Structures are given as structure tokens and as C-alpha cells.
């Protein structure tokens, strides 16, 4: 199985040299404690936890899976002890307020932690990861009394949380939610209904599980306008914070899944369970989506995690596996054959993995600064600031979630291919990465949903193309700044062309949509992928610019590190960025070529 080593050098390069996080943190009201020494110490300690505790459980957890019996879930061997170590280290509250027992650091610090944990063991990371969404929702929308009762144990990790949205009859279309909430005389509600696909919905890692549940009041209007939001704990919570009786929250099954098998995905039945409303009546969906941008960034991380882990395994194997001689001549004449890393086609796959992992990491670390500003607005009670940064982040999230998970899956498949037949064998762990990666393009909204959100909602409706114009203006400024630099001119020239083309394509789709509404749906996938390739191209050019400067003037890393950055940037512009061209051509083709074939003509009997 791949041996995970946290990519601390690349993380520090982005944090300190590309995006200047020290200066960024200095501007945040909750960033004063995130000084470089503290950040570095946290990264080192998290890497140790991931490499020594979580990574060794990845393969065994997949092989054993979760055990379900009489409504109870037992996680794989070693998971409970690993979770205890996680809680003892105070990792759950890293980016949450000190008043609830957290460390009060910026949200991006939690993202760095989640990347390392997710790469080491994505199944394990799902358990505390789902709690973060529940914590954020409670923190912003619950009453002071409910916060005081629920936030401390959630922040400490003694309790975990879930987000209960999906039901058997509906997935993304939450307007079809049927779970009922009956008001009681004491101000509580009786919650009745079934929720499916509930990650970490039942397990043996914590004393209590706090479910955040979408449900309808008896007089609620139809559709999404009639959904409210409730806290429904598995175990009743007394006024002093101690646990009471079971709350009629029943796990009736766990799913038998293709991947992330050590993460329990539960079917949860609420049988007149006691619930507590958070947010306003019939505005539950709005409250639930408060942190959806950051939740989708968390899912986008999965693409980077699987690309990184698969690359680490594939590179190690490619250096050891010997087959034939390199076409340019013997590379290891004293050996029976050359290592396959000397073959250009293997290099293509390894460089694709590296370009995806490191280019995607740069995209996410940049967006994480937006998330820091957004959450800072919440901390300061500045709604205008929160809205400004949430809107800016909103443009990034569908691109990050859709594009990076698709490329992460591609990178995972390359890892199997490098191993050849051995990659198809379970004991090497490479096929597990593919299986684990497959869900990333599905949950938190499929790639198609992300594409529709990006083009149909964020670009065409909400901003009328302004979101694209703002980001392409940033690309244009980079191009102007580096156009006269001989080492960077090719990147600057190509990016300037793409920035202009991105705006033209946006306008063409916008104008076509006035007459042909189907164009939004037929073009959205190509628009998202085009946007992703251009955006990643910008961040590779940015890394190349910093690496070039550090080679000339000196940096914190060895020259070989910066030279590698320049080599991968060149590979990306030569071999991956040209993919954007095919998406550009396809997105403006008429929708009728997709819609002309009658539904009944797909299969003839």
C-alpha cells in the first residue's frame, strides 16, 4: 500500500512564499496567534498524527469495513483508538472559538489539517469532518442556550455531528423533503421521517451524535420555502450537559459501498424524536447552506488527497519496477532493465498526477483565504463583510468541487495504470484509492450540479458574467506584469489569450441562452472544465513566477524544489491546459445535438 508522507515542503511553499499567509493572518481578527512558528508546529504535529496513526489504518479499514448489528455500528479495528488520539490532540476545535473550547485559529488552518488527514485516511476523516458542518451551523444559527449546550462537546470532539438532508425520494432536489416536525407545548418538536446517505450517522467513536435535520412544519408551504432546520441528538441532553435517554433516533442500515468502506453511511429513522429548531421557521435550507461553500471546498480537497496519495504510491513503484530500456538509451546499464520512470509515457502519468495535486492545492489554498475573510465577518458580526467574501468564494466553489474531484479521479486511475496488473490487486492499495475517489464527484452535489450552479446561477443569473470578469482581470494583471520576462512570457501570453476567450465564451452562452434555454445545461459541464483548466493554469503560472524569483534571489527551499516547480508548470501548459480548447469548442455548440434523440430511442426492444 502507498506509504503516506505529508507534503510539507509544498504546503509551506504555498503558505509562505506564494500566498504570504503570515501577512494574511496578520490582517485577521482571529489570526494573531497564527504566527509562522505556531503554524509550522501545527503542520508538523498534524503530519505526525497522519503518518503514524491514520495512514496505517487506511488499507486495513477498507478491508474490514464497518460492522452493523442491532442498530449499532462498530468501526474497524484501530479507529476508536485513533479517534481518541485525535480528540486528545485538540484537533477538532482547531479553527473554532475559544469560548467553546477551541483554539480560535483561522478556518484555513483547519483546511490544512483536513488535507493531511484526508490523504492519510479519507474514511477516518469523514467522522470528524461531518461534525465540522454541524458545528458551523449550530454556531451561526442556534440560540445562545443551544450553543452553550452543544458546542463545547462538539468542539472538543466528545460528540460528533451529521447533516441530514437526503431522503429516499429526493437527492439534490430538497424541495421534496417529507420529514415532519410537530410543535410541542414545551417548545420542542417531534421529528418523524427517514434520512439516507448520512455519513457518520452511526458509529462507536463518541458518546453522542448530534444530527442537523431538515424537516417540515405542519403548515409549511410546499417546496424549498417550507423547510426548517433542527438539532436532533441521538441521546437526549440534560440541562447540565449530561446525557439522558435514547432519543428515538434509529439506524436501520448502513450502505454497502464501492469505496470509503470504513466510513459508515447510515439510514437514519427519526421516530417521534425530540428536536430543537435552529434558525427561523421555513428558512432551514438557507441556514443549512450557510457554510455550503466551505463544505464544498472540503469535498474538493478529496480530489487533491487522492491525487497526492496515488502519486506517492506510483512514483515509488515507478522507481523500483524495471521493464525494457528507455528509448533514448540505457539509464541504468548495470541493471537488467531500466526503471519505468525513465519511460516518457509513465512520466506523462506521474506528471499529470503531480500537476493535479500541486495545482489543485494552490487553487484551494488561495480560496481558503477568502474563507478566512468570510468567517472573520461572522466573528465580527459584519454581515456586509461576510456577504462580500461569501459571494467571491461562491464563484470558486463549484469549480473547485467539480473540476478537482474529476481530475482527482483521473489521477487515481493513473496510479493503477502505472502499477499495471499489480495496480488491480487489492494488496497494493492503489485500486482502493480509485474506489474512494469515485464518490467525490457525486456527494455535496454531482459534477453536473456544480456545473449548473456555476454557469446557470453564479455566472449568468447572479453576476451576469461579473464573476468571470473579476477573476480574468486578475489573470490579466499577472500577464501584463510578466509579459516582458523571458522565462515567464509564454505563460503570460497564453493566459492573456485565455482570459479574453473566457469572457467571450461567457457572453456567447449568455446571448444564446435567451433563445435556447437548454444551452445552459448542454454547455455547463464544458464551461466548468474550461474554467478549471484556465484557473489551474493561472495558479501554475503563479507558482512558476515565484519559483523563478526564488531561484534568482534565494528562497527557503533547495534549488531543486524550485526547478521542479518550473518543470511541472511547463508540463501543465504543454500537455494539460490544451484540453481547455476542446471544452471551448463544445460549449458553444447548439443544444439540439443533445436533445434531438427521443428518450424512447435510446434503447430498442
Catalytic residue positions, numbered: 444
Residue 224: strand, helix, or coil = helix
Spatial contact of 93 and 103, defined as CB atoms under 8 Å apart:
yes
| β pairing state of 208-215 and 159-164 | parallel
- Which grid coordinates belong to 50? 497522519
Residues near 578 by Cβ (< 8 Å), separated by ≥ 6?
none
Cβ–Cβ < 8 Å for 459, 467: yes
Q: Which residues of 519-558 are buried (b: 16+ CB within 10 A; e: fewer)?
A: bbbbbbbbbbbbbbbbbbbbbbbbbbbbbbbbbeeebebe
**Residue 511 three-state SS:** helix
Q: How far apart are the first and last CA of the chain?
A: 46
SS (H, E, C) 104-141: CCCHHHHHHHHHHHHHHCHHHHHHHHHHHHHHHHHHHH
CA 445 to each of CA 43, 246, 271, 439: distance values in angstroms, whole numbers, following the listed order: 30, 32, 28, 11
CA–CA separation, 116 vs 49, rounded Å? Answer: 9
Phi-psi region of 267 (alpha: psi -120 to 50; beta: other; left: phi over 0): beta
Contact in structure between 437 and 408 (CB atoms under 8 Å): yes
* C-beta of residue 50 within 8 angstroms of C-beta of residue 4: yes
Amino acid at each position: 500500500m502507498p506509504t503516506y508522507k505529508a507534503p510539507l515542503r509544498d504546503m509551506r511553499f504555498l503558505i509562505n512564499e506564494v500566498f504570504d499567509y503570515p501577512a494574511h493572518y496578520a490582517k485577521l481578527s482571529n489570526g494573531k496567534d497564527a504566527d509562522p512558528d505556531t503554524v509550522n508546529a501545527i503542520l508538523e504535529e498534524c503530519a505526525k498524527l497522519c503518518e503514524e496513526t491514520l495512514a496505517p489504518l487506511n488499507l486495513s479499514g477498507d478491508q474490514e469495513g464497518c460492522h452493523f448489528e442491532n442498530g449499532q455500528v462498530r468501526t474497524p479495528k484501530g479507529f476508536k483508538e485513533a479517534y481518541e488520539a485525535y480528540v486528545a490532540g485538540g484537533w477538532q476545535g482547531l479553527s473554532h472559538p475559544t469560548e467553546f473550547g477551541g483554539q480560535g485559529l483561522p478556518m484555513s488552518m483547519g483546511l490544512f489539517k483536513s488535507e493531511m488527514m484526508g490523504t492519510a485516511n479519507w474514511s477516518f476523516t469523514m467522522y470528524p469532518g461531518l461534525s465540522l458542518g454541524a458545528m458551523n451551523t449550530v454556531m451561526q444559527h442556534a440560540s445562545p442556550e443551544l450553543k452553550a449546550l452543544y458546542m463545547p462537546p462538539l468542539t472538543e470532539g466528545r460528540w460528533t455531528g451529521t447533516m441530514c438532508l437526503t431522503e429516499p425520494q429526493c437527492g439534490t432536489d430538497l424541495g421534496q423533503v417529507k420529514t415532519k416536525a410537530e410543535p410541542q407545548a414545551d417548545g420542542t418538536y417531534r421529528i418523524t421521517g427517514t434520512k439516507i446517505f448520512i455519513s457518520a450517522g452511526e458509529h462507536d467513536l463518541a458518546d453522542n451524535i448530534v444530527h442537523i435535520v431538515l424537516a417540515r412544519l405542519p403548515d409549511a408551504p410546499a417546496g424549498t420555502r417550507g423547510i426548517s432546520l433542527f438539532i436532533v441528538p441521538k441521546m437526549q441532553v440534560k440541562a447540565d450537559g449530561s446525557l439522558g435517554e435514547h432519543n428515538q433516533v434509529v439506524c436501520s442500515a448502513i450502505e454497502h459501498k464501492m469505496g470509503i468502506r470504513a466510513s459508515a453511511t447510515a439510514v437514519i429513522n427519526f421516530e417521534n424524536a425530540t428536536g430543537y429548531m435552529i434558525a427561523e421557521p421555513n428558512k432551514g435550507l438557507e441556514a443549512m447552506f450557510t457554510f455550503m461553500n466551505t463544505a464544498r471546498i472540503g469535498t474538493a480537497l478529496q480530489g487533491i488527497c487522492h491525487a497526492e496519495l496515488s502519486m506517492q504510491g506510483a512514483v515509488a513503484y515507478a522507481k523500483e519496477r524495471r521493464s525494457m530500456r528507455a528509448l533514448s538509451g540505457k539509464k541504468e546499464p548495470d541493471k537488467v532493465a531500466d526503471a519505468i520512470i525513465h519511460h516518457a509515457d509513465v512520466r506523462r502519468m506521474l506528471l499529470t498526477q503531480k500537476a493535479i495535486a500541486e495545482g489543485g492545492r494552490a487553487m484551494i489554498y488561495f480560496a481558503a483565504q477568502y474563507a478566512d475573510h468570510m468567517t472573520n465577518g461572522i466573528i465580527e458580526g459584519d454581515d456586509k463583510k461576510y456577504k462580500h467574501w461569501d459571494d467571491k468564494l461562491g464563484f470558486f466553489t463549484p469549480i473547485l468541487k467539480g473540476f478537482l474531484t474529476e481530475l482527482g479521479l483521473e489521477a487515481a486511475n493513473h496510479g493503477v495504470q502505472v502499477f499495471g496488473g499489480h495496480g488491480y490487486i487489492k494488496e497494493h492499495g492503489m485500486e482502493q484509492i480509485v474506489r474512494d475517489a469515485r464518490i467525490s464527484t457525486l456527494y455535496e452535489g454531482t459534477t453536473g450540479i456544480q456545473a449548473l450552479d456555476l454557469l446557470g446561477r453564479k455566472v449568468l443569473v447572479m453576476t451576469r458574467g461579473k464573476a468571470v470578469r473579476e477573476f480574468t482581470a486578475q489573470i490579466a494583471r499577472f500577464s501584463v506584469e510578466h509579459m516582458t520576462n523571458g522565462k515567464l512570457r509564454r505563460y503570460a501570453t497564453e493566459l492573456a489569450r485565455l482570459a479574453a476567450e473566457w469572457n467571450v465564451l461567457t457572453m456567447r452562452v449568455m446571448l444564446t441562452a435567451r433563445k435556447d434555454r437548454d444551452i445552459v445545461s448542454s454547455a455547463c459541464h464544458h464551461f466548468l472544465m474550461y474554467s478549471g483548466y484556465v484557473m489551474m493554469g493561472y495558479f501554475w503560472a503563479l507558482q512558476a513566477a515565484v519559483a523563478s524569483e526564488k531561484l534568482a534571489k534565494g528562497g527557503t527551499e533547495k534549488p531543486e524544489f524550485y526547478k521542479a516547480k518550473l518543470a511541472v508548470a511547463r508540463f501543465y501548459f504543454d500537455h494539460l491546459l490544451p484540453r481547455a480548447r476542446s471544452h471551448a469548442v463544445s460549449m458553444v455548440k447548439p443544444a439540439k445535438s443533445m436533445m434531438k434523440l427521443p428518450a424512447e430511442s435510446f434503447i430498442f426492444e
